[in-house]
Amino acid sequence: MIAVITADLINSSNYSKLLLTKVISILNKEFELIWEQEGKKENSFKIYRGDSFQGVIQNPENALHIALQLKAAINKIQNNSNSGRRTLSREADSKTAIGIGDYNFRRDSIGESNGQAFQFSGRTLDEMKKNGRTLMLKTPDDNINGEFNSSLLLLDTFIEKWSTASAEVVYYLLHDYKEQEIANTLKISQSAVNQRKKAAGWEAISTLLERYQKVISQNFNS
């Protein structure tokens, strides 16, 4: 069993050239970090058409964490002209579908690979284009799908309210930074980090991540 993450940038046709360049650059940097986290020696993510990307996660219990890591990385992007304002509305966002399942047609290229996980992820993303969701999960188990798609719907309501500042703090929390480390990195007070952490709904997010990891680990072998 593997997880496949498939994502589209939202309203990417409205992005400036500068913004789209930043998004692609940030994604490529995150992909490198994910390769290290997953212990892989080669690229397991690929950008398509400049506004979509897909990747294989060998350990499906890590897929939600990685999906949020990528989403926060995109959400925190600001244009240079606005760099002094830390509570801006987000300029870039993505719809992300996670599919968990078999990987029965392996090729060197992700675009040529196939299997249950790819099909679940791709079809779920197509569904999301119609229902307004930004994060969904599909597995072979309907009970798991029901539990997490209800939870992810609630998570969408938190994410919808993120500013770039909130997304920035969530991004570093997902990389296991402590509050003081985030404060030092962003050159703000620890109390400001804590306020942004609460505003982003971090306690609920971290609880959901723990639940996801436990359930997926118990039900699907890597």
Q: What is the pLDDT of residue 82?
A: 47
CA distance 87 to 66: 24
Distance from chain centroid for Cα 8: 11
pLDDT above 80: residue 157: yes
**Can you give the pTM of this predicted structure?**
0.89
Q: Choose the CATH number for 2-219 among 3.50.50.60, 3.30.1310.10, 3.30.70.270, 3.40.50.150.
A: 3.30.70.270
Q: What is the pLDDT of residues 16-45, one digit of tens each?
A: 999 999 999 999 999 988 877 766 545 578
CA distance 2 to 59: 6
Q: What is the pLDDT of residues 97-138, one digit of tens each?
A: 999 998 765 555 555 556 889 899 999 999 998 888 999 999
Q: What is the pLDDT of residue 39?
A: 64
Show me where the domains of the chain are located.
2-219
Residues in the chain: 222
Which residues are within 8 A (CB) of 200 and not within 5 positions of it... i.e. 6 or more apart?
Answer: 158, 162, 166, 167, 169, 170
Share of the chain above pLDDT 90, in %: 68
